[in-house]
């Protein structure tokens, strides 16, 4: 049995998230279907570094694949890409030690969210268009309160697979690029809908409808209010998954320029 490390990008609009489901089209399910044809067997294991929600994209999702094959990594990559639809692409395949686990060995993950200040004919699937004026400085200042170890119960729905609602946020970066506001959030891991609710609350602060004081209240007390502000999945991208002592050195650039 060989173990491979896969680096995958995908446009999540047409999919019900990463995780394989019985009656829905998913990224993992599509990859497994392709793998069944490539390896002429369903006896293999493909696991991602974590789930992404329905409609969420990935610039670089990481997965590991256990399969009995003599194929070289570059051939595995080529065969997958020959079968995959246009909106899923294998960036790289590496032969990896059998001890490596895509999810358990990840030390941090980073997400990028794109908020658009204008309506767009071309980037609708990749941004959240906000009609109201947004105060970038208020949003940026408030965002720093998320950094550190916090209980994010108020920013997530109940998930039986999560053992604890506590998450370490390592860093938040915000910048403006033309009509795009970019928000990068790096953390140990992320709860279901957590990033979208963090962004949604920051947007409400930018609109002047919520305050930094309320953000702090939600971090320190359980509240259902952040659920009302959940940002749409269209603007969200899993940017990178880091292992061991890897550092995200990528500059913060928009995925689409407006």
Q: How far apart are CA 142 and CA 211, in angstroms?
A: 8
Considering the candidates 45, 53, 137, 151, report the single residue annotated as catalytic: 53
**Start-to-end C-alpha separation, the chain:** 47
Helix axes 194-207, 136-143, angle to 10 degrees: 140
CA distances from 62 to 6, 94, 129, 221 (A): 6, 11, 29, 34
Nearest to 195 by CA among 240, 156, 242, 241: 156
- From the number of C-beta atoms within 10 Å of its C-beta (0-12, 13-18, 19+), residue 97 rates as exposed
Instruction: Identify the residue whose tokens are 């957590």.
Output: 194
Give catalytic status of residue 53 as yes or no: yes
Which residues form the catalytic set? 53
């Amino acid at each position: 049995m060989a173990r491979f490390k896969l680096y995958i990008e995908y446009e999540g609009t047409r999919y019900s998230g990463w995780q394989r489901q019985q009656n829905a089209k998913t990224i993992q399910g599509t990859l497994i279907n392709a793998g069944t044809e490539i390896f002429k067997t369903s006896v293999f294991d493909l696991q991602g570094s974590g789930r992404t929600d329905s409609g969420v994209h990935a610039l670089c999702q990481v997965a590991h694949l256990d399969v009995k094959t003599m194929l070289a990594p570059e051939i595995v990559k080529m065969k997958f890409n020959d079968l995959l639809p246009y909106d899923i692409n294998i960036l790289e395949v590496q032969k990896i030690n059998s001890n490596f686990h895509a999810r358990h060995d990840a030390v941090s993950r980073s997400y990028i969210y794109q908020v658009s200040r204008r309506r767009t004919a071309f980037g609708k699937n990749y941004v959240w268009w906000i009609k109201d004026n947004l105060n970038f400085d208020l949003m940026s200042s408030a965002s720093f309160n998320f950094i550190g170890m916090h209980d994010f119960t108020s920013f997530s729905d109940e998930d039986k697979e999560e053992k604890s609602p506590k998450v370490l946020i390592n860093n938040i970066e915000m910048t403006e690029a033309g009509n795009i506001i970019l928000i990068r959030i790096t953390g140990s891991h992320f709860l279901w809908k957590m990033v979208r609710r963090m962004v949604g609350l920051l947007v409400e602060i930018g609109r002047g409808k919520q305050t930094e004081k309320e953000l702090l209240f939600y971090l320190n007390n359980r509240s259902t209010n952040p659920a009302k502000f959940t940002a749409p999945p269209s603007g969200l991208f899993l940017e990178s998954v880091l292992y061991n002592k890897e550092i995200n050195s990528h500059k913060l650039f928009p995925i689409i320029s407006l």
